[in-house]
Amino acid sequence: MSGRRELPGPDLSGTEMNDVLRSRIDFRTPPADPVPTPAHTPTAPAHTQVEASKGGVRSGKGTRPDPDGMRRASFYITREAAEALERAADRIVQVLGDGTPRHVALSALLLAGAGQVDVVAQELARQRAAELTARLAALPPIPE
């Protein structure tokens, strides 16, 4: 036995459940924006942390809290990009050894990519210009 005592359930006698639910939601006004809280500054960058923080755990938007200095994220990216990122992370873990946490490899890869903003922006602009040039060339001539 775990030693935990069972807590009694709430006393709902005389309570109309619909009234309780209605009192929690005000359909007339939108919810106010939450007050921003100051960001936590970890002592070491999160992408270099090998072990999760032993103490402070903050609650995130998900069902599990994020350790200090960490954030779970979901990105909508092409399958090609996702597979390339997976292969690169696998290669880093292979080179550095199984003691390297996957989040360290993924964080380092994302930071390296973020450091290439100008190169990436130029390439995307070049691709967009080529696409627009091809679309322009495909337009029928304007009759005079």
- Residue scoring higher pLDDT (41 or 2): 2
Q: What's the whole-number mean pLDDT along residues 64-86?
A: 91
Q: Using one digit for the tens of pLDDT, what is the confidence trace for 85-143?
A: 999 999 999 999 989 999 999 999 999 999 999 999 999 999 999 999 999 999 998 88
Domain boundaries, the chain: 56-139
Q: Write the CB contacts of 113 (distance below 8 Å, at least 6 apart in sequence).
A: 120
Q: What's the whole-number mean pLDDT along residues 12-40?
A: 62
pLDDT attached to residue 13: 75
Q: Is the dihedral angle over the CA atoms 12, 14, 18, 23 positive or is it negative? A: negative
- Residue type, position 49, single letter: Q
